[in-house]
Amino acid sequence: MTQATTRKRVKTRTETERPKLHKVILVNDDFTPREFVVQVLKAEFRTTEEEAYRIMITAHQRGVCMVAVFTRDIAETKATRATDAGKAAGYPLLFTTEPEE
Ligand code: TYC
């Protein structure tokens, strides 16, 4: 005789956490030439000339300006590389990162 089997089915729901994004922030200083800041923004963050100028002048006028958001590793790597580009040229140019709320 055949026997019917009953199986319990468990529905699973996968919760995927989105990685928290981190902001890269450009900090103003009194020494780095404007044109140098624009060059670094274009090279490291792949912005257009116009966008780089807007970010640079905003930091110049307000003290800081958000450049872009990335996952933490990428934000930190880009901020470090951009800061090091200034350091290599003898400027105190600074990029920092902070987690987005
Ligand atoms: N304040 C600098 C100057 O007058 C230009 C500058 C802008 C430097 C933005 C840094 O994040 C900065 N030469």
CA distance 84 to 29: 15
Indicate if ligand 1 lies below 6 Å from the C-beta of 32. yes
- Among 26, 32, 42, 55, which is best to mutate for testing ligand 1, by the most ligand atoms less than 8 A from CB? 32
Please report the pLDDT score of residue 1 as a whole number.
53
| pTM for this prediction | 0.86
Domains recognised in the chain with CATH numbers:
21-99 (3.30.1390.10)
Please report the pLDDT score of residue 101 as a whole number.
83
- Distance in angstroms between the alpha carbons of the first and the last residue of the chain: 64
CA distance 63 to 28: 5
Burial 8-33 (b: 16+ CB within 10 A, else e): eeeeeeeeeeeeeebbbbbebeeebe
Average pLDDT of each block of 10 consecutive residues along the chain (101 residues)? 76 88 98 98 98 98 98 98 98 98 83
Of 23, 27, 28, 45, nearest to 98 by C-alpha is 23
What's the gap in Å between 40 CA and the centre of ligand 1? 12
Residue nearest to atom 10 of ligand 1 (CA): 28
CA distance 24 to 14: 31
> Is beta strand 64-71 parallel, antiparallel or unpaired with respect to 21-27?
antiparallel
